[in-house]
Structure 1
């Protein structure tokens, strides 16, 4: 059974600019095309093209009018938090947690179970997929809106081989990956990183380090 989709349609314009614009709309929640142009230093025509293509993905929408500065009231572009959902998986040494969120990070469902992760990777696989399906069932939304899965592991991760868990930390996981199983079950992109790295990312986007580019994150 297919649970999701691979991604929204690709945006033809410069990918870096598109990402910048999307991130700006996400952070500001509502913003005009003119303000996006001012913030990015790009022309209004270029920004209009990028926004037009993003509108086609459903990630943003025209949500009303802003305040006028002497001319026509600008149309505001708003990020659509409910345009998709994301599964997050936290693999600890003795537990597995799975959370389902919208694109703002709001919790839609959450499950956690104790498990001997160090010694039972196959059981961990089954538990992860089971908890993921439980969260989706509890949410009871359109599973086609599942856009991706993020996995935090208690091990350094090689960007070139993200499916390989460092076996000197988890010996039983030698040769055992998790990416392909999750991809085959849920049919969406899966991203794996070290739990401390992802903890720092979470603090930067939602926690104490919002708006701070350089900070130290310690996981005890």
Structure 2
């Protein structure tokens, strides 16, 4: 099982869970924790039966998990004779997680429990171009405030997840040549944050964490999902077999810089011309509307215009949907997802963008690929990013290998 697996742990087979443990060692406390995270209380005997471990070994593992606070007694099972056995279950509130979704001009920070439920949050207008030190210090400072406000200590913090609006090498947590993030290129984000909060720090592209959040919140049973964020820029997060697909260098899903027929020779911020982002992003639509005599300064202005019934804005959104559909139609034939989710600031404008996407995908994609395809608006909404960043940390830190370190440390 991969550490960034997104599916409910209870849906995994026992063989998969045991395979996550070291091949030459008996399953540790982390494997028992993974079993218990499905929400169903179990007795020591049940855990021994499922894992094949000796009763004494299970007792030792359970005692370690009890001491860590990650599980707790959950009542008594039905007695089959003699004293009823005690059952044990996962305690999502035993630790908390900080999750940051950083956009081009905004920041959203949340405190969650280990189920991804948001306990408290903070939002702010924050320009990513202010640089990594300023932005990350805002995250750490406000994260400490959220912890204090919730009555939690830094020692209860499981980890911190961060989403950045640019290409990220997930293995190192460093942004790579981000076009709208001056000063961030190759900056050691995890190292900077760990110097202020001594916890695991995981970093990914903002669209990937939104895909994780949407999958976790609304589509946990979808094995193949694409999340398309349409805002200042355009990007796509891909979930395959329950895990984020990042590609060889973490650049998978960068659909905003694929050439589209309507793009012509329109310059894009990436240095090429005719990219999808150059004609269908919030920034591109705002510029086009302004040039046509309908002033708009960004994606949110385009949304506001559409909500007020502006015909030019509605037409622009429908065409943007068609342009996005051109790229997604090829992706549907290549990847064959079961769900495509459209999110981001422009998705808040209503059905016009979504209608344009659907129109082209159903025209251009193979019937077999679209037979059971759902093309929908985001259900997680603006909270998808922070939920996804939290889930990314939870799945990493509570994977069998890392959970063993957490319990034994």
What TM-score do the two structures reach when normalised by structure 2? 0.45
User: Do residues 133 (structure 1) and 144 (structure 2) align?
Assistant: yes
Task: Please say if 1:86 is aligned against 2:102.
Answer: no
Q: Runs of at least 4 residues of structure 1 off by over 6 A?
A: none
Q: Which residue of 1 aligns with 2:117?
A: 106
1:77 pairs with 2:49: no
Check conservation: 2:41, 2:89, Cα contact below 8 A.
Answer: yes
User: Secondary structure of 1:218's partner?
Assistant: strand
Contact persistence 2:128–2:181 (CA under 8 A): no
Q: Give 1:103-182 correspondences, 5 Å limit.
A: 103-162=114-173, 164-172=174-182, 173-182=184-193
Query: Alignment partner for residue 189 of structure 1, among 200, 205, 213?
Result: 200
Equivalent residue number for residue 34 of structure 2: 23
SS of the residue 1:185 aligns to: coil
Identify unmatched segments of 5+ residues in structure 1. 1-11
More deviation in 17-26 or 130-139? 17-26
Q: In the TM superposition, what whole-angstrom CA distance separates every residue of 1:24-48 from its partner, at most 9, and x where no partner exists?
A: 212225222233344x442352433
Mapped partners of 1:24, 1:185: distance in 2: 33
Structure 2 Cα separation of the partners of residues 134 and 102 of structure 1: 16
What is the CA–CA distance in structure 2 between the aligned matches of 1:81 and 1:182, rounded to whole Å?
24
Q: Per-residue deviation at 1:17?
A: 4.9
Q: Between Structure 1 and Structure 2, how many residues are aligned? A: 205
Q: Is the 8 A contact 1:30 1:77 kept in 2?
A: yes
How far off is 1:165 after superposition? 0.4
What's the secondary structure of 2:168's corresponding residue? Answer: coil
The CA distance in 1 between the partners of 2:68 and 2:25, in whole Å, is: 16
1:33 touches 1:44 (CA, 8 Å); kept in 2? no
1:96–1:113 contact (8 Å) kept in structure 2: yes
Instruction: Give the TM-score taking structure 1 as reference length.
Output: 0.78
> Counting helix residues as a fraction of each chain, which structure ranks higher?
2
Instruction: Find the structure with the greater CA-based Rg.
Output: 2
Unaligned runs of 5+ in 2: 1-21, 230-409
Q: What's the RMSD between the two structures over aligned residues?
A: 2.8
SS in 1 for 2:202: strand
Partners in 2 of 1:44 and 1:27 — Cα distance?
Answer: 22
Partner of 2:223: 214
